């Protein structure tokens, strides 16, 4: 049975609706009218067998995890407090940028048009019929004119007040059996963004940024359009507070490409005596000038979704402390004493056996990798030992400097 995921995102708060199996919409708890209309429309079009409104209670979380463990999707890690291991289908291990589209009426609304007629690297011709949207999301192709233009189709349902998103893992249409009990359809992945109507339609992937629609999809792509309309900024930036030995504190935002060390910088442990760093966020910043003209920033996320390989007590001790409890690990190695392991950690103790991310026996020094290079940890931000006291401030923290960094295609040669 395929699984439909629906959500209405509000910064750190979310109302999620998941359909997995024979309950009518009339039996779900009371919802705001705009949310109810959105859910009713989605139910009518996608025809799920069950609707469940996620409330976020500890009892509900425990029930969900118990059912996932029963179905073989996650495994409890006995070495830590409330930590879990998930192994995905090897074909569903990362965001798929080539299958990610942004749908707008005009190309310039999505990407810059470079001078001289050069083609933008992020340019995709978006035709929902060619992408199979009618098959993936029945009854949701509603195009005008000739049906498509460059990055310019319209389809899906509309809820201007709810910032809706929808995800369909698509496992019901797969012929092959599930691998690791992981529902997905890698051959037909499509992650579409409709900024005009604040929508996200994700099909075929249950992994990371393709299913955590509140992260890159909403908090950066859709939020960038909302920010443009409302006069603020949604940026791929970490936020940290730094205090000097004299007790003067400043806040810094920093923008680097993925896998360039944003999390390590956001959780830095200064080597200089008397200096202190506190983490507001490690990935996304929403910024706006206040009434006094001061640029302020908030972290719209409630946790860290970081790359595991390379993270260690040497490179990021605060991250290691953060993920020691209440954490979900994906596609990392497993130790025979109920723990996790990945490249960059110290070799396991004598007598401890390793299982790689495929679930196969693995020995330290083998030519293959124990953990997938994009294996992840997902943990609550509030557990970080250096979380900033103002990290959840509604008005945000005052930004005093912005650092920009990039990645060179290759190293420098003397």
Looking at residue 17, which CATH number applies to its domain? 3.40.449.10
The yes-or-no answer on residue 95 being catalytic is yes
Q: Tokens for 200?
A: 């996200």
Does residue 316 have a pLDDT over 60?
yes
Model pLDDT, residue 47: 82
Domain that holds residue 113: 1-55+92-229
Residue of 2, 52, 92, 95 with catalytic role: 95
Catalytic residue among 27, 120, 122, 258: 258
Across the range 91-109, mean pLDDT stands at: 83
At residue 219, the 3 state secondary structure works out as helix
Active site residue 91: no
Let me know if 207 is a catalytic residue. Answer: yes
15 lies in some domain: yes
Write the burial class of residue 389 (CB in 10 Å: 0-12 exposed, 13-18 middle, 19+ buried): exposed
Domain-located, residue 38 = yes
The tokens describing 69, both together, are: 């463990």
Burial status of residue 308 (CB atoms within 10 A of its CB: 0-12, 13-18, 19 or more)? buried
What is the spatial distance between Cα 61 and Cα 68, in angstroms, rounded to a whole number?
11
With 60 as the cut, is the pLDDT of residue 13 above it? no
For residue 387, what are the β-bridge partners?
279
Q: Which of 124, 155, 157, 207 is catalytic?
A: 207
pLDDT in tens, 329-386: 999 999 999 999 999 999 999 999 999 999 999 998 899 999 999 999 999 999 999 9
pLDDT score recorded for residue 201: 85
The candidate with the shortest Cα–Cα distance to 296, out of 308, 273, 280, is 280
Name the E strands within 11-155.
13-19, 52-54, 74-76, 84-86, 100-102
pLDDT value for 324: 97
Asked, for residue 351, whether it belongs to a domain, the answer is no
Q: Report pLDDT for 135.
A: 54
Q: What b/e sequence results for 314-341 when a residue is b if at least 16 CB atoms lie within 10 Å of its CB, and e otherwise?
A: eebebbbebbeebbbbbbbbbbeeebbb
Q: Does the pLDDT at position 134 exceed 60?
A: no
Average pLDDT of the chain to the nearest whole number: 81
pLDDT at 106: 74
One of 99, 193, 198, 216 is an active-site residue; which one? 216
Give just the sign of the alpha carbon dihedral 275, 278, 284, 287: negative
Does the pLDDT at position 118 exceed 60?
no
Residue 5 lies in a domain: yes
CA distance linking residue 12 with residue 392, whole number of Å: 9
Of 31, 327, 8, 40, the residue nearest 167 (C-alpha)? 8
**Is there a catalytic annotation at residue 325?**
no
Residue 147 scores a pLDDT above 60: no
- Asked whether the predicted pLDDT for residue 139 surpasses 50, the reply is no
Rounded to the nearest 5°, which phi and psi values hold at 27?
-95, 0
- Tokens, residue 270: 């200064």
What is the reported pLDDT for 154?
A: 26
Q: Which of 87, 375, 376, 384 is catalytic?
A: 376
Per cent of the chain over pLDDT 90 is: 54
* pLDDT at residue number 49: 83
pLDDT at 125: 40
* Residue 376 designated active-site: yes
User: Which entry of 159, 283, 356, 388 is annotated as an active-site residue?
Assistant: 283
Burial (CB < 10 A; 0-12, 13-18, 19+), residue 401, is exposed
Describe the chain by its helix, strand, coil percentages, rounded to 5: 20, 25, 55
Global pTM exceeds 0.75: yes
Asked if the structure places residue 98 within a domain, the reply is yes
The segment with the largest mean pLDDT, out of 43-57, 124-138, 165-179, is 43-57
- 353 in any annotated domain: no
Residues 6+ apart with CB under 8 A from 2: 168, 169, 170, 171, 172, 173, 183
Active site residue 158: no
Q: For residue 151, is pLDDT > 50?
A: no
Give residue 145's pLDDT.
Answer: 29
How does residue 389 score in pLDDT terms, banded at 50, 70 and 90? very high
Q: Is 258 a catalytic residue?
A: yes
The whole-angstrom separation of Cα 235 and Cα 20 is 34
Which pLDDT tens digit goes with each residue over 216-233? Answer: 999 999 999 999 999 999
Q: Which residue has the higher pLDDT, 164 or 306?
A: 306
pLDDT tens digits, one per residue of 233-267:
999 999 999 999 999 999 999 998 877 889 999 99
Query: pLDDT tens across 19-76, in order?
Result: 333 334 444 557 788 888 888 888 887 788 888 888 888 899 999 999 999 999 999 9
Give 217: exposed, middle or buried? Use CB within 10 Å, 0-12, 13-18, 19+. buried
Neighbours of 136 (CB within 10 A): 22
Number of compact structural domains in the chain:
1
What does the pLDDT look like over 193-204, one tens digit per residue?
Answer: 888 888 888 889
Residue 285 lies in a domain: no
């Amino acid at each position: 049975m395929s699984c439909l995921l629906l959500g209405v995102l509000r910064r750190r708060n979310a109302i999620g609706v998941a359909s997995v199996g024979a309950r009518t919409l009339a039996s779900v708890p009371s919802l705001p009218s705009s949310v109810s209309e959105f859910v009713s429309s989605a139910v009518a079009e996608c025809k799920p067998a069950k609707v469940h409104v996620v409330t976020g209670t500890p009892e509900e979380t425990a029930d969900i995890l118990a059912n996932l463990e029963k179905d073989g999707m996650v495994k409890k890690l006995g070495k830590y407090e409330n930590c879990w291991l998930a192994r995905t289908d090897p074909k569903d291990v990362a965001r798929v940028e080539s299958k990610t589209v942004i749908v707008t009426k005009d190309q310039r609304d999505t990407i810059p048009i470079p001078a001289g007629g050069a083609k933008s690297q992020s340019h995709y011709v978006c035709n929902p019929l060619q992408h199979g949207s009618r098959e993936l999301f029945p009854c949701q192709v509603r195009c005008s004119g000739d049906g498509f233009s460059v990055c310019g189709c319209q389809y899906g349902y509309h809820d201007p007040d709810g910032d809706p998103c929808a995800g369909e893992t698509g496992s019901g249409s797969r012929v092959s059996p599930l691998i690791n009990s992981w529902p997905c359809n890698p051959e037909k992945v499509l992650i579409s963004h409709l900024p005009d109507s604040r929508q996200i339609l994700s099909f075929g992937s249950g992994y990371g940024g393709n299913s955590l629609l509140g992260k890159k999809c909403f908090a950066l792509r859709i939020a960038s359009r909302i920010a443009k309309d409302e006069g603020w900024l949604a940026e791929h930036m970490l936020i940290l507070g730094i205090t000097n030995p004299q007790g003067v504190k400043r806040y810094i935002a920093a923008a680097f490409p993925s896998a360039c060390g944003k999390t390590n910088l956001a959780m830095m442990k200064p080597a200089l005596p008397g200096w202190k760093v506190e983490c507001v966020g490690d990935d996304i910043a929403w910024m706006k000038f206040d009434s006094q003209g001061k640029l302020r920033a908030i972290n719209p996320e409630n946790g860290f979704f970081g790359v595991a390989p390379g993270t260690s007590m040497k490179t990021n001790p605060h991250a290691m402390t953060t993920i020691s409890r209440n954490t979900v690990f994906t596609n990392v190695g497993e130790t025979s004493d109920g723990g996790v392991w990945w490249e960059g950690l110290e070799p396991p103790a004598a007598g401890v056996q390793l299982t790689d991310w495929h679930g196969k026996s693995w020995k330290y020094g083998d030519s293959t990798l124990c953990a997938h290079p994009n294996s992840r940890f997902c943990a609550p931000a509030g557990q970080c030992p250096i979380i900033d006291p103002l990290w959840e401030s509604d008005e945000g923290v005052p930004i005093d400097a912005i650092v920009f960094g990039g990645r060179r295609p290759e190293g420098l040669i003397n």
